[in-house]
Amino acid sequence: MQIPAHPFPYGFDLAHTALVIIDMQRDFIEPGGFGETLGNDVSLLAAIVPACQAVLQAWRGAGGLVVHTREAHRPDLSDCPPAKRLRGNPALRIGDEGPMGRILVAGEPGNQIVPELAPVGGEIVIDKPGKGAFYATGLHEILQDHGISHLVFMGVTTEVCVQTSMREANDRGYDGLLLEDCTESYFPHFKAVTVEMLRAQGGIIGWTAPSAPLLAALAPSGR
């Protein structure tokens, strides 16, 4: 398959490509969660859920591999890099009790993926203690076991966990595509400049494209 993308068309073979959905968790997206408590307008992030849902459904329909990540730490925070806890809003740090349970702690209500995008049986779910999906997780080994060489990214936030994961993937030899309308930031100008940065200089980190051409390629008539 090949779809129009920036800086040039993105070619991929579905059998060797995974859809990677970064941190579409209640704590970042729903009112009353960590993101809102930090003073952010979460409606910006909630707005991409329908577009992500459409891609997820099409990807499942085409039989592609799906990976979900969650920014999640052990209850004793032994896997939490100290800087993550010490920087940020001192009134509400990782591990503190928030409106939807302990902030970014595995198993807490706010740590779950939003119901619209909830994983189904057979999909891979990675709990990651860093911003990147590869740091301190077995993701690279899992992808290698599945023969994956290409990754299509969606999720939040564009300039933090999505960008870090895409850069980590690029350094490990994966060809990454970011779906522009399926990612968002609390700071729209950060999203805009991240999208530009990733695809600059001939695709220095990877490709970007809207989801429409991917949906057309995944439709039974497009395959």
What residues pair up with 209 in beta bridges, in sequence order?
179
**Would you give the distance in Å from CA 52 to the centre of its chain?**
10
In this complex, which beta carbon is closest to ligand C5J, that of residue 18 or of residue 113?
113
Q: Which is nearer to ligand C5J, 129 or 213 (CB)?
A: 129
Site for ligand C5J in 158-217 (CB under 6 A): 160-161
Q: Please report whether residue 103 would count as binding ligand C5J according to CB under 6 A.
A: no
Query: HSE-up of 55 (CA within 13 Å, CB side)?
Result: 26
> Which residue is it, tokens 């503190």?
96
Active site residue 128: yes
Look up 131 and say whether it is catalytic.
no
User: With binding defined as CB under 6 A, does residue 111 bind ligand C5J?
Assistant: no
Which span sits near ligand C5J by CB under 6 A: 144-152, 157-165, 175-183, 189-197?
157-165
Note whether 27 binds ligand C5J by CB under 6 A.
Answer: no
Coil, strand or helix at 210: coil
One residue of 111, 157, 183, 194 binding ligand C5J per CB under 6 A: 157
Is 156 one of the binding residues for ligand C5J (CB under 6 A)? Answer: yes
d(CA 124, CA 118): 11
65-71 vs 97-98, strand pairing mode: unpaired
Catalytic annotation present for 191 = no
Angle at 128 between CA 123 and CA 132, to 5 degrees: 105
Which tokens sit at 157? Answer: 């936030």
Quick one: 175 or 184, whose CB is closer to ligand C5J? 184
Catalytic choice (52, 84, 128, 182): 128
**Mask of contacts with ligand C5J, 81-100, x by CB under 6 A?**
--------------------
In this structure, what DSSP letter does residue 113 have? Answer: B
From candidates 27, 30, 36, 71, binder to ligand C5J by CB under 6 A: 71
Parallel, antiparallel or unpaired: strands 10-11 and 2-3 = antiparallel
Query: Within a 10 A sphere around the Cβ of 64, how many other Cβ atoms?
Result: 18
Give the number of residues written for the chain.
223
Catalytic option among 161, 175, 182, 191: 161
Active site residues: 23, 128, 161
**Contact set with ligand C5J (CB under 6 A):** 23, 28, 71, 156-157, 160-161
